[in-house]
Amino acid sequence: MTGNIQTLLPDDIERRSMEIIEGELGDTSELSPLQKVIIKRVIHTTADFDYIKNLRFSDNAVELGMAALRSEAVIVTDTQMALSGISKPALKALGCNAYCFMSDPAVARIAHENRTTRAVASMDNAAELFADRRVIFAIGNAPTALIRLRELTDMGRISPALIIGVPVGFVNVVQSKELIINSGVPYIVAEGRKGGSNVAAAICNAMLYMIYDRSTGKIVAE
């Protein structure tokens, strides 16, 4: 083997990765400190520095998301992959829960009966189940989920604490993100075609890790 290969433990790998990212970020003067943490976590997950300019934040979006998590918010995702990627120790410590209803038989049946997507039926299901809870929607795959969230918001059926809108793809992806940007709801959105379930989970974890100290297992004081 050739090259300067380093033997590092997982925590050291993450710390060194963040140091490399920090060194290559360039000018971040337009970002708030909290926005910078989110972007660095997404770059750490994707190795894609385009997110410096692609991630859009509504006013105080990160602060509002973190406040919701401190208030035992529910996170609803549109993929099992995103759900599996969100830190379970952090959720447990904060009294939060995360859900994905895409594989729920009742959701599949309703989607079939209504001739719509499971993502749409999942958002309707979440709106009904969590009408009295603070909800963060973390959407990394399905533009139809974002479109339905905008409809539910306009109808007054939901009032999300935060929408993370980062679906990846080509059909209705850009348009669905614009709907959320113009919805009046707090958002973190990846403009353009890029995104994915891993990005949705990374954004959730970035907020969680600013509240939950992984080294001690304790909640960070406000």
CA 189/CA 218 separation, integer angstroms: 29
Nearest 10 degrees: CA dihedral of 180, 182, 186, 189?
A: 50
Residue 11: CB partners within 8 Å, gap ≥ 6? none
The one-letter amino acid code at 34 reads L
**Active site residues per annotation:** 44
CA 22/CA 96 separation, integer angstroms: 30
